[in-house]
Amino acid sequence: MRVMVFVKATEDSEKGFVPTPETTAMMEAMGKYNDELRNAGILLTADGLKPSSEGKRIAFDGPGRRVIDGPFAETRELVAGFWLWEVKDMDEAVAWVKRCPNPMPGPSEIEIRPLYEMADWQE
């Protein structure tokens, strides 16, 4: 099964990447972790997202389309990065996320969401 794994944003990630000894060490740890994922054969793709101040939202209302510029509120609900993994089940995904280095300087969250698969549509 495929899962998308989201690194949720924090006040720090919303400030954008600032090279400090701390963030450099984190990037290094994350690089090692990504190597592990790759060597286990589960990593399909991954990327980091720029802060929401560089993003835009398009609000839909019937025929209406309204563009809203970032940054966006509800920081902790935003996404700062993602992986796409091919795993056997959710337990495996959870086990892998647990060994991820904390992606943020402070408390943070990672969320796992399974993708719909062909079989889910065949009712």
Applying CB under 8 A, the residues found at the interface with another protein are 35, 38-45, 84, 86, 88-89, 91-92, 94-96, 98, 118
- Residues ≥6 apart with Cβ < 8 Å to 116: none
Of residues 9 and 42, the one with the C-beta less far from another protein: 42
Of residues 74 and 91, the one with the C-beta less far from another protein: 91
Least CB distance from residue 48 to another protein, whole Å? 18
Exposed e or buried b for every residue in 24-44, given b needs 16+ CB within 10 A?
Answer: eebeeebeebeeebeeeebbe
Least CB distance from residue 38 to another protein, whole Å? 5
Please name which of 68, 70, 26 lies closest in space to residue 48, comparing C-alpha atoms: 26
Least CB distance from residue 12 to another protein, whole Å? 24
